[in-house]
Homo-oligomer: A and B are copies of this chain.
């Protein structure tokens, strides 16, 4: 007996046949005596179709009208899932974003959930009615439809879980959990049964594309337990006692689980890689107070997200090299902006390199284990992998390397931190 929010993505609801499979999974949860709300995406391909219509109608589209058009995709699947559940004998009804309401603020087409105060939804769920809710959509203060940007359905699900004080939020997706690293690179990657919000945020933001980052932040804020699991399991089989996916929990709960299971925390939980960074080196920047701020302030104002920053020890007296990374998609813009300010900033030249990769080892256990970074540098050095830049946080160490060495580095580190499974993953 629990209160559960379930979320299914576009592939899981692509067509009435697949919606029936989803309905079976939902029904099994409801039949177990649970209160259930389901959040659904649009059918796979539908949002693209609608976005294309908008582009054809008006290349510089008004995001308010764009939202009216694209939100219809989730509206359709929520109505269809409610109908399918009813056909199976379940009580079910749809709740559109403006009906709950899911209040959002900020821009159309990229809205953020403000609050959901859903007394009617709670009542309906408590009365045994399955709530079917279109993800991705909300309503603005002006009473107009908003959408939350691509992938926003994860965030919708977590927000609704917070609103109804759910015991957990199950995100059904095309992978069956969060792995110690990308299983396509390391066959011995293991599924992680529990991961903390903080670790998940670092893993997601550096490349483990399982959950939208914003949804993890929201879950952390409201302490919502989020489970990632596969929707391609046996029809109607409710998750067994052994965790079918990965549970994302608070650090407190994580500690309790470790204590109860009498397990020691590993120093590193997972290894992520990201090939979408580019490296920028400004040579011979005047080594004076404020010089670095002069470089990064205009980049920040232009909305360019600077990640790693290294200021080398001055080569010559009064001069230094500054190295940093930006997303590849923003490299050209960053370069143009800096060239414009070359005189003011006083550097000699800009050297850029897109053929780099960021490799990160992430783990809450780092706080209590020493030598994590040293292990990393030694393992890479032993294989002749050159480290171009380093950045660290409390629970993460990242290095920038040559892109060609990505897979090698990930495999080497996965072994070095003892993450390899005994048998190869299926």
Contact = CB atoms under 8 A, between A and B. Distances in A.
A69 B80 CA distance: 7
B86 A58 contact: yes
A235 interface: no
Contact of A93 (B65, B80, B81, B93): B65
A59 B16 CA distance: 12
A61 B58 CA distance: 36
A62 B75 contact: no
A94 B68 contact: yes
Contacts of A73: 72
Contacts of A58: 83-84, 86-87
Given A80-B57, A87-B58, A96 B145 contact: yes
Interface string A47-85: 000100110111111101111110111011011111110
A98 interface: yes
A99 B143 contact: yes
Interface string A85-107: 01100000110101100000000
B75 A79 contact: no
B99 A144 contact: yes
Given A16-B56, A56-B16, A93-B64, A72 B83 contact: no
A66 B16 CA distance: 14
Contacts of A62: 82-83, 86
A19 interface: yes
Contacts of A98: 98
A50 B53 CA distance: 18
B99 A76 contact: no
Contacts of A54: 79-80, 83
A91 to B, nearest CB: 10
Contacts of A53: 16, 76, 80
Contacts of A75: 68-69, 71-72, 75
Contact of A50 (B56, B60, B76, B93): B76
A13 to B, nearest CB: 11
B68 A96 contact: yes
A81 B65 CA distance: 9
A119 to B, nearest CB: 14
A53 B72 CA distance: 14
A285 to B, nearest CB: 46
A68 B78 contact: yes
Contacts of A68: 75-76, 78-79, 82, 94, 96
Sorted nearest first, the 6 A-B pairs with minimum C-beta distance are A68-B79, A69-B79, A58-B87, A72-B72, A58-B83, A16-B56
15 contacts: A16-B56, A53-B76, A53-B80, A57-B81, A58-B84, A62-B86, A65-B83, A65-B94, A66-B79, A68-B76, A68-B79, A68-B82, A68-B94, A98-B98, A99-B144
Interface of A: 16, 19-20, 50, 53-54, 56-62, 64-69, 71-73, 75-76, 78-84, 86-87, 93-94, 96, 98-99, 143-145
Given A16-B56, A53-B80, A58-B86, 4 more contacts: A64-B93, A65-B83, A68-B94, A98-B98
